[in-house]
């Protein structure tokens, strides 16, 4: 069991390395007058994060029989979108967070204007990457279009940004469980779901497989957020790389606040079980199964 | 002459109306929990602006023999990107402008967090629109891809955002003319150029025509910015819909500051002449010619 998990950890590290190298290449510093903002884009997009979204995309592509290299630009694009959302979320007018991934948040390391533009730059660069000649070189135009359409939909007003908007609308008020579920499904869930879907689409998987990947991601995304909320209560700030009890301080409604810690633990297990069940559409599901269960007890 | 210009003004109004109706449809308020941010998106994207970028795109499509309806989603997308850039530019950490298009800027009418998300939402929505089923319904996938690639490139780090970055880097310092030209070519020019290019591309125009549209737009875009700077000095705030002398107050380097007003006037005429000359690749160039010359004496 332990040996097998080590093997999986190596694959996860390999995917993270591919995404990191891809981002390094797609976000070059090349002596332009505007390079200060590229430095901020690189500061936030490189050298940190679990790269789970990228890894999910690449693995779903692989187990759907696709060319992982063809999915790589999209894995990088989704990580750019994730990074931009964190930069803008951390800004003083939003969550006003000073730390992120164990280092000062972008606007603390640079300044607010630079962080604003770095976020804009990463969001825009994600779409440049998605429709680039490089991306289109390995896939036909119709598939590139569908991938970009899925990405844009999940990141936008009807996806991740929509979740941030609801978060903002309920700032200081206590949403009920239905509202919190909707908020999380959009704010965190949409990007995780689309990562898994896009891996399948890049590989030309069947609609049944795309739907299964979607279910896997929806369940796991919610479990992931609940675990995140739990870590804000019981985690170790030095391991997490950011302050704990931030939700409480900011008056945010969280799953532990609504359900209590013990019920959260059970929810995480139940949802992860359902996520893993959805994988029965795929023959080679060992890595995703182990990864999903490993996330239930993660410490950061 | 006057009668002909009235006819052109009608066409400009018709294009603006098409873009306005398109934006109204693409940015619906439909009772979602996140609607407050859509209200802010609509506040900034609808009901104002000259819609020059949209009009250029639709006209270049028309005179290249294309279907104007096929270009309309892209005209709306480019106006969304223009609107997002103004929202983020007006934020306190950037230019801190209170007024825009004769009404309070987005963060003054709503709040900073809402304005931040409204900007993000519009940028993202532009790309959703560019790759939407609707856009793809009238053009083949390869052309949709090229249009989206052009749009993303012009809006991003190597285009408009890059210009904003240079602007930021020179904040409080006096750039020389070469730097100011580069800044303006990116910050204002890139989006105007791509609007004209995309109109041709949507119509399947020749590469020579695309290049001619690009030259027209590059010259006119610079003339437009010089005129903008002049209006900040000599314009009427009540006509402009925003405060004058803002550049001076913010210590921005402008063309009048570098060249003087009389040389600016000559530059605007010279550049507009060159822009109009580039139109010789098109048979039906009356509207663009008149529009270009009308901009040299605009009061807002």
| pLDDT tens-digit series, residues A158-206 | 999 999 999 999 887 888 999 999 999 999 999 999 999 999 999 999 9
What DSSP string describes B59-78?
HHHHHTT--HHHHHHHHHHH
Quote the CA–CA distance of A107 and B159 in Å, as a whole number. Answer: 22
The packing angle between helices A112-130 and A68-90, to 10°, is 160
- Cβ contact (<8 Å) for B156 and A113? no
Residue B41, classified by CB atoms within 10 Å of its CB into exposed (0-12), middle (13-18) or buried (19+), is buried
CA distance A93 to B288: 43
Cβ–Cβ gap A125/B156 under 8 Å: yes
Q: Are B19 and A152 in contact (CB under 8 A)?
A: no
Nearest CA in chain B to A171: B113
Distance of alpha carbon A89 from alpha carbon A106, whole angstroms: 10
CA separation for the pair A196, A205 (Å, rounded): 11
Q: Is the Cα torsion angle A33, A39, A40, A44 positive or negative in sign?
A: positive
Contact assignment for B142 to A141 by CB distance below 8 Å: yes
In a mutational test of the B interface, the residue from A35, A45, A93 whose CB has the highest number of chain B CBs within 10 Å is A93
H or E element, residue A96: none
Who among B41, B91, B157 is closest to A121 (CB)? Answer: B157
Which whole-number Å values give the CA distances from B169 to A36, A223, A253, in the listed order? 8, 43, 39
**Chain A residues near residue B136 by CB distance under 8 angstroms:** 145
Neighbours of A206 (CB within 10 A): 11
- B227-284 pLDDT, tens digit per residue, is 999 999 998 888 888 888 888 887 788 999 999 999 999 999 999 999 999 999 999 9
SS3 assignment, position B173: coil
With beta carbons under 8 A apart, name residues in chain B contacting A165.
33-34, 36-37, 117, 121
pLDDT digit of tens for each residue in chain A (300 aa)?
456 666 889 999 999 999 999 999 999 999 999 999 999 999 999 987 889 999 999 999 999 999 999 999 999 999 999 999 999 999 999 999 998 888 999 999 999 999 999 999 999 999 999 999 999 999 999 999 999 999 999 999 999 999 999 999 988 788 899 999 999 999 999 999 999 999 999 999 999 999 999 999 999 999 999 999 999 999 888 888 888 888 888 778 899 999 999 999 999 999 999 999 999 999 999 999 999 999 998 888
A61 by DSSP, 3-state: which? Answer: helix
Q: Which of B131, B152, B168 sits opposite A145 (nearest CB)?
A: B131
Q: Is it the case that residue B2 has pLDDT exceeding 60?
A: no
> Does B100 or A85 have the greater pLDDT score?
A85
What is the 3 state secondary structure string of B72-97? Answer: HHHHHHHHHHHHHHHHHHHCCCCCCC
Q: How many residues does this entry show for chain B? A: 300
Q: Which residues of B touch A121 (CB under 8 A)?
A: 156-157, 161, 165
- pLDDT for B175: 87
Rounded to a whole number of angstroms, the distance from the CA of A191 to the nearest CA of chain B is 14
ipTM comes to: 0.95
**Structural tokens at position A299:** 């410490």
Interatomic CA distance for residues A26 and A28, integer angstroms: 6
pLDDT band at B165 (very low <50, low <70, confident <90, very high): very high
Interface test with A, best of B26, B93, B164 (most A CBs within 10 A): B93
Report the C-alpha gap between B112 and B38 in whole angstroms. Answer: 14
**Both structure tokens of A5:** 């998990």
Average pLDDT rounded to a whole number, residues B80-96: 96
Residue B235 Rama label (left phi>0; alpha psi -120 to 50; beta): beta
Contact A255, A267 (CB under 8 A): yes
Assess contact for A76 and A54: CB atoms under 8 A: yes
CB nearest to B145's CB, from A94, A111, A131: A131
Neighbours of B7 (CB within 10 A): 12
Q: Among partner residues A116, A132, A140, which is closest to B149 by beta-carbon distance?
A: A132
| Of the partner residues A128, A140, A141, the one whose CB lies closest to the CB of residue B152 | A128
- Rounded to an integer, the average pLDDT of B76-104 is 95
Q: What are phi and psi of B99, to 5 degrees?
A: -125, 150
| Burial class for B286, CB neighbours closer than 10 Å (0-12, 13-18, 19+) | middle
| 3-class state of residue A166 by DSSP | helix
Q: How far apart are CA A105 and CA A117, in angstroms?
A: 14
Overall average pLDDT of the B213-223 stretch: 97
- Assign B137 a pLDDT band (cuts: 50, 70, 90): very high
B106 contact residues in A (CB cutoff 8 A)? none
**What are the two backbone dihedrals, phi and then psi, of residue B180, each rounded to the nearest 5 degrees?**
-60, -40
B117: its two tokens:
């998300």
DSSP character at residue A103: E
Nearest 5°: the CA angle A236, A254, A252 is 95
Q: Are A151 and A145 in contact (CB under 8 A)?
A: no
- Supply the mean pLDDT for chain B: 94
- Return the structure tokens found at B54: 């949209």
pLDDT per position as a tens digit, A32-42: 999 999 999 99
DSSP A206: -
A91: left (phi over 0), alpha (psi -120 to 50) or beta: beta
Give the pLDDT mean for B36-57. Answer: 94
What is the chain B residue with the closest CA to A158? B34
Q: Taking residues B77-92, what's their average pLDDT?
A: 97
Which among B36, B123, B168 has CB closest to A124? Answer: B123
Task: For residue B162, give the chain A residue with the closest CA.
Answer: A34
Residues of chain A neighbouring B127 (CB-CB closer than 8 A): 127, 148, 152
Q: Identify which of B108, B128, B155 has the alpha carbon closest to the alpha carbon of residue A157.
A: B128
Contact across the interface for B153 and A128, Cβ inside 8 Å:
yes
Q: Which residues in chain A touch residue B33, judged by CB atoms under 8 angstroms apart?
A: 162, 165-166, 169, 179, 182-183
C-alpha distances (whole Å) from B112 to each of B86, B94, B164 are 13, 12, 19
Give the closest residue to A167 by CA, choosing from B45, B43, B127, B36: B36
Q: Which two tokens stand for residue B196?
A: 């004209």
Q: Is the dihedral of CA A156, A32, A27, A243 positive or negative?
A: negative
Report the alpha-carbon angle B17-B202-B58, nearest 5: 25
Indicate the pTM of the whole model: 0.96
Under DSSP, is residue A100 helix (H, G, I), strand (E, B) or coil?
A: strand
Tally: H helices and E strands in chain B: 17, 2
Burial of A129 from C-beta contacts in 10 A (0-12 / 13-18 / 19+): buried
Is 60 exceeded by the pLDDT of residue B1? no
Spell out the domains of chain B, with CATH numbers in brackets.
2-296 (1.10.600.10)
Residues of chain B neighbouring A111 (CB-CB closer than 8 A): 93
* pLDDT band, very low/low/confident/very high, at B3 (cuts 50, 70, 90): low
DSSP designation for B104: E
What are the Cα distances from residue A233, in Å, to A185, A223, A246, A254?
21, 16, 9, 10
Nearest CA-CA distance, residue A34 and chain B, Å: 5
CB A58 within 8 Å of CB A72: yes
Instruction: In whole angstroms, give the CA distance from residue B92 to residue A286.
Output: 50
Q: For B103-121, what is the mean pLDDT?
A: 97
Task: Report the C-alpha gap between A233 and A227 in whole angstroms.
Answer: 10
């Amino acid at each position: 069991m332990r040996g097998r998990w080590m093997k999986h950890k190596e694959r996860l590290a390999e995917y993270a390395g591919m995404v990191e190298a891809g981002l390094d290449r797609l976000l070059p510093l090349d002596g332009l007058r505007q390079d200060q903002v590229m430095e901020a884009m690189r500061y936030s997009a490189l050298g940190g994060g679990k790269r789970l979204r990228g890894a999910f995309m690449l693995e779903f592509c692989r187990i759907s029989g696709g060319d992982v290299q063809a999915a790589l630009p999209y894995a990088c694009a989704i990580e750019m979108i994730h990074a931009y959302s964190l930069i803008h979320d951390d800004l003083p007018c939003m969550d006003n967070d000073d730390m992120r991934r164990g280092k000062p948040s972008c606007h603390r390391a640079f300044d607010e204007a630079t962080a604003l533009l770095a976020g804009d730059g990463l969001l825009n660069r994600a779409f440049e990457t998605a429709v680039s000649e490089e991306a289109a070189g390995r896939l036909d135009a119709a598939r590139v279009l569908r991938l970009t359409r899925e990405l844009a939909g999940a990141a936008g007003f009807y996806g991740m940004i929509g979740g941030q908007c609801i978060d903002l609308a309920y700032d200081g008020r206590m949403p009920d469980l239905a509202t919190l579920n909707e908020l999380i499904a959009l704010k965190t869930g949409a990007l995780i779901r689309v990562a898994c879907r896009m891996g399948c689409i890049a590989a030309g998987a069947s609609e049944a497989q795309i739907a299964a990947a979607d279910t896997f991601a929806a369940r796991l995304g919610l479990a992931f957020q609940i675990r995140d909320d739990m870590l804000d209560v019981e985690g170790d700030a030095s391991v997490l790389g950011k302050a704990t009890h931030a939700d409480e301080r900011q008056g945010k409604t969280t799953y532990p606040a609504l359900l209590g810690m013990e019920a959260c633990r059970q929810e995480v297990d139940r949802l992860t079980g359902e996520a893993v069940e959805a994988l029965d559409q795929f023959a080679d599901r060992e890595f995703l199964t182990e990864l999903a269960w490993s996330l239930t007890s993660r410490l950061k």
